[in-house]
Amino acid sequence: MKSTHALMLASIAFALPAISYAQVAGSTLLGVTQSELRDVMLGWSAKRQILGQPVFNGQNERVGSIDDLIVTKQKAVSYALVNAGGFIGLTKHDVANPVSQFKLVDGKFILEGATRDALKALPRFEYAD
């Protein structure tokens, strides 16, 4: 009996890699393939490397922090929401800025020409229901 269970477990273990990558017409493969996993590991993590990071202007003055990213229906990151409110999160004033306006310089997010007052003068971003 033990040898039968061991044989079944071994056959399942060898079959799993083939099963996990098998595709059937009309079905969707969940997760990523082994080759896509490398791209995922080399990509940016929004949670670890973007969200909450300070935003500076060209004069190295902190003007806010990145609170959220907006992804379009075309699966592209289009806007970053910058909290231009006070530090410590007491006041909040999120404004949307196109990601094309940001530069990454020496590991810092730079929004050229921005000031805290200029960002606060922009319309506050509010999520749609």
Q: How far apart are CA 96 and CA 123, in angstroms?
A: 9
The encoded tokens of residue 87 equal 């530090």
- Range of 11-20, 86-95, 117-126 with top mean pLDDT: 117-126
Domains and CATH numbers, the chain: 2-23+32-42 (no CATH), 46-121 (2.30.30.240)
Q: Mention every residue, 6+ apart, whose C-beta is less than 8 A from residue 21.
A: 29, 33, 34
Q: How far apart are CA 88 and CA 47, in angstroms?
A: 19
- 38 vs 101, higher pLDDT: 101
The encoded tokens of residue 60 equal 């190295």
pLDDT at residue 36, rounded to an integer: 84
Per the CB < 8 A criterion, the answer to whether 93 and 120 are in contact is yes
Instruction: Encode pLDDT of 10-67 as tens digits.
Output: 333 344 444 444 555 556 667 878 888 888 888 878 888 999 999 999 999 999 999 9
pLDDT band at 98 (very low <50, low <70, confident <90, very high): very high
Q: How far apart are CA 129 and CA 126, in angstroms?
A: 9
Q: How far apart are CA 35 and CA 22, in angstroms?
A: 14
